[in-house]
């Protein structure tokens, strides 16, 4: 049993001591089997949320109505979910209510894919009612039960299937693939936020190329914001290993470039990204276009800032079919660090100084002149000191 599970054993044991059943479930059991890094250790138990709450000192109620409690033990958060089945599915979306059930088997049956429907007890024994192990060995994503039914219950599962192809490097089983092709229209009912979360994971997984190909081929693409008519473009994007990029913003920047999206802000808004993300990605896209035309200059690195410069360079290298090397990163960092200023606030002269020197009234001329001074300082044409700048202004008849 991996360390992550061992650390969580006191949680399972405490529940068991009080007469409840408790098992490790879901992604962590799958990832241990696949020898992948284990993220969150989730637990399923026969204890009701209130009973869980009563047993642990530190708990956070994140959805007791849906049967989920977080307990904190040894500084680690564990999600404990009461055995449940998702009663009625409305509109091909997650159900509004859940029914608690008494058996682990019923709880596992409501889970999406067989590899996600295994449990492990506190002795490390795997409980596998739905051939999860077999499918893990065959590297297959296949639904628990009929894929048609399971996708009709919750259409997001179609995107989750593709997400696991990307994350795990698996393939879709034949009937799961076919059911997705038939049911993509149900994605219409799914909120953009849930689609975005899955799509970002699709882009980030090691198998992003194959997964994006599935997005295009199955027709999922038709139900994603702003991707109407972009099938050929998306197929082109499959060849780029965007998962190799290190941030979500870099991946969106690369994708936007291949998709040839014109109104970038509107596109990103339609995916309901945060304003901050939109701003960062739009800025990246702008500088990527500049980078395609010419090498970085002191000025472009100054204007873009170090973070954006490095993100854009990584995307640029990817598009050119190479990886961003450590040397190149170091070179750009050195260029940035060699700049005399990193923002206009660091200029040795300000609007008030200009008025004093020129005895002119304030006006737009000040901003224009400050911009010229800023450029001259960044380009090392003048030292960033009041005296040097005054001298330059006088000698160039700028004031």
Residue numbers at the binding site for Mg ion (CB under 5 A): 27, 40
Q: How does DSSP classify residue 185? A: G
* Residues between 84 and 123 with contacts to ligand ATP, criterion CB under 6 A: 111-112, 116-117
Which CB, 205 or 219, lies closer to ligand ATP? Answer: 205
157: partner contacted, choices ligand ATP, Mg ion, none (Cβ within 5-8 A by kind)? ligand ATP
Q: Please report which residue ranges of the chain form alpha helices under DSSP H.
A: 3-17, 27-33, 49-55, 104-109, 132-137, 147-153, 156-168, 174-183, 192-204, 208-218, 231-237, 248-259, 264-270, 275-293, 298-304, 306-319, 326-337, 351-358, 364-378, 386-395
Q: Which does 311 bind (CB under 5 to 8 A by kind): ligand ATP, Mg ion, none?
A: none
Nearer Cβ to ligand ATP (116/285): 116
Out of 7, 9, 27, 307, name the contact with ligand ATP by CB under 6 A.
27
- Compute the distance between CA of residue 144 and CA of residue 167 in angstroms, rounded to an integer: 19
Per rule CB under 6 A, is residue 77 in the interface with ligand ATP?
no
Among 18, 39, 139, 185, binds ligand ATP (CB under 6 A): 39
For residues 77 and 11, give the distance between their C-alpha atoms in angstroms, rounded to a whole number. 11
Kindly tell me which of 157 and 213 has the beta carbon lying closer to ligand ATP.
157
Which C-beta is closer to ligand ATP: that of 157 or that of 183? 157
Tokens of 278: 């939109």
What residues contact residue 332 under an 8 Å CB cut-off, 6+ apart?
Answer: 296, 301, 306, 309, 310, 313
Q: Smallest distance from the beta carbon of 53 to Mg ion, in angstroms? A: 22
Nearest residue relative to ligand ATP (C-beta)? 27
Cβ-based nearer residue to ligand ATP, 116 or 284: 116
197 CA to centre of own chain:
7
What is the footprint of ligand ATP within residues 224-263 (CB under 6 A)?
none
- In DSSP terms, 79 is beta-bridged to 42, 70
CB of 96 to ligand ATP, least distance (A): 14
DSSP string of 354-372, one letter each residue: HHHHH-PPPSHHHHHHHHH
Q: Which residues bind ligand ATP (CB under 6 A)?
A: 26-27, 39, 111-112, 116-117, 154, 156-157
């Amino acid at each position: 049993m991996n360390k992550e599970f061992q650390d969580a054993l006191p949680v399972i044991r405490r529940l068991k001591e009080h007469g409840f059943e408790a098992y490790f479930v879901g992604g962590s059991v799958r990832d241990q089997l696949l020898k992948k890094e284990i993220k969150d250790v989730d637990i399923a138990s026969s204890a009701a949320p209130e009973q869980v709450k009563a047993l642990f000192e530190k708990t956070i109620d994140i959805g007791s109505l849906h049967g989920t409690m977080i307990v904190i033990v040894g500084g680690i958060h564990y999600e404990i979910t009461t055995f449940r089945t998702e009663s009625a599915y409305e509109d091909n979306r997650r159900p509004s209510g859940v029914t608690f059930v008494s058996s682990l088997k019923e709880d596992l049956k409501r889970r999406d894919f067989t590899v996600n429907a295994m449990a492990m007890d506190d002795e490390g024994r795997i409980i596998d009612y739905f051939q999860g192990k077999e499918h893990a060995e065959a590297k297959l994503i296949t639904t628990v039960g009929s894929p048609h039914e399971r996708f009709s219950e919750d259409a997001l599962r179609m995107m989750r299937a593709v997400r696991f192809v990307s994350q795990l490097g698996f393939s879709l089983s034949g009937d799961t693939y076919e059911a997705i092709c038939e049911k993509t229209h149900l994605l219409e009912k799914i909120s953009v936020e849930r689609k975005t979360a899955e799509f970002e994971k699709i882009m980030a997984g090691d198998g992003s190329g194959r997964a994006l190909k599935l997005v295009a081929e199955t027709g999922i693409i038709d139900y994603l914001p702003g991707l109407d008519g972009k099938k050929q473009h998306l197929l082109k994007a499959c060849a780029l290993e965007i998962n190799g990029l290190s941030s979500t913003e870099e991946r969106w920047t690369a994708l936007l470039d291949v998709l040839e999206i014109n109104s970038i802000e509107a596109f990103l808004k339609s995916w309901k990204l945060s304003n901050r993300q939109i701003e960062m990605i739009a800025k990246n896209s702008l500088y990527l276009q500049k980078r395609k035309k010419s090498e970085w200059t002191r000025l472009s690195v100054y204007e873009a800032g170090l973070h954006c410069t490095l993100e854009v360079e990584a995307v640029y290298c990817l598009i050119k079919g190479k990886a961003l090397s450590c040397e190149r990163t170091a070179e750009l960092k050195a260029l940035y660090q060699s700049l005399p200023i990193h923002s206009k606030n660091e200029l040795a002269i300000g609007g008030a100084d200009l008025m004093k020197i020129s005895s002119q009234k304030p006006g737009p001329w000040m901003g224009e002149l400050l911009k010229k001074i800023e450029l001259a300082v960044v380009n090392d044409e003048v030292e960033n000191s009041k005296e040097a700048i005054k001298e330059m202004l006088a000698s160039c008849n700028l004031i």
